[in-house]
Amino acid sequence: MNEPIGRLNLVRQRIKKACIAAGRQTCEVSLLAVSKWHPAEKIRDLHKLGVCSFGENHVQEALQKQRELASLDVQWHFIGNLQSNKTRAIAENFQWVQSVDRKKILQRLSAQRPDSMEPLNICLQVNIDLEPQKAGARPEEILQLAELASGLGNIRFRGLMAIPMNTSDPRQQHDSFRKVKALFDTLKTVGYDIDTLSMGMSSDLEIAISEGSTMVRIGTDLFGDRES
């Protein structure tokens, strides 16, 4: 099962089964193919099979792929750590940014997004388990960031992204995802018009979907091992 269509079908089957188990519709969960470190040709192969959303972590790598794939209708998501000196390139070349975690980045993305382009879709990254080595805003900072994001021009606040603790303990996984979903629901309750809860990867997508994820980010299970 090494061909792209085989890997894609397995991932789609997992998403479908997880949705059925959670009492949800399959259409409630979208697939983001994490293409970092994989060549443009692999993106082209998946695009031919109907995958249109791809996530990248490194700006220069992503820009090169965008040039190679300029003829394709691709929705590009930036999901890596955000550096201030990279925000202009991101604002000008991506449709989504899922890893916003501080005011300065929000303000720069808003100011640098060209007026001629559609608003840049923004997810706030939350460090739900307070891991010191990980990016992401603390949960108590999210409401303030959401207020700022909603008031800035040229961006659209869409929701939250999280990368919970890497653990094989299902109870811990459920707990982390549940806390992100609770924060997401709080934002909706106080009036934010958000629709995206990006959480869950290859190893835990079933648990993430059971706890309310609307977007799963899948890399190796779609692309195979990255090339050296």
pLDDT in tens, 205-214: 999 999 999 9
**211 in a structural domain:** yes
**228 in a structural domain:** no
The model's pLDDT over 125-182, given as tens digits with 9 standing for 90+, comes to 999 999 888 999 999 999 999 999 999 999 999 999 999 988 889 899 999 999 999 9
Residues spanned by the domain of 27: 4-223
Torsion angles phi and psi, residue 161, rounded to 5:
-130, 145
**154 in a structural domain:** yes
- The pLDDT score that the predictor gives to residue 158 is 98
Residue 58: pLDDT band with limits 50, 70, 90: very high
pTM value surpassing 0.75: yes
Residue 225: pLDDT band with limits 50, 70, 90: confident
Report the domain count for the chain. Answer: 1
Q: Is the pLDDT of residue 17 over 60?
A: yes
Q: What is the CATH number of the domain that holds 53?
A: 3.20.20.10
**155 in a structural domain:** yes
SS3 call for 159: strand
**116 in a structural domain:** yes
Average per-residue pLDDT in the chain?
95
Residue tagged 């008031």 (tokens): 151
- The pLDDT score that the predictor gives to residue 132 is 86
C-alpha distances in Å from residue 146, one per residue of 105, 126, 176, 191: 13, 11, 20, 11
**45 in a structural domain:** yes
* Tokens of residue 194, six digits: 């958000």
SS3 call for 186: helix
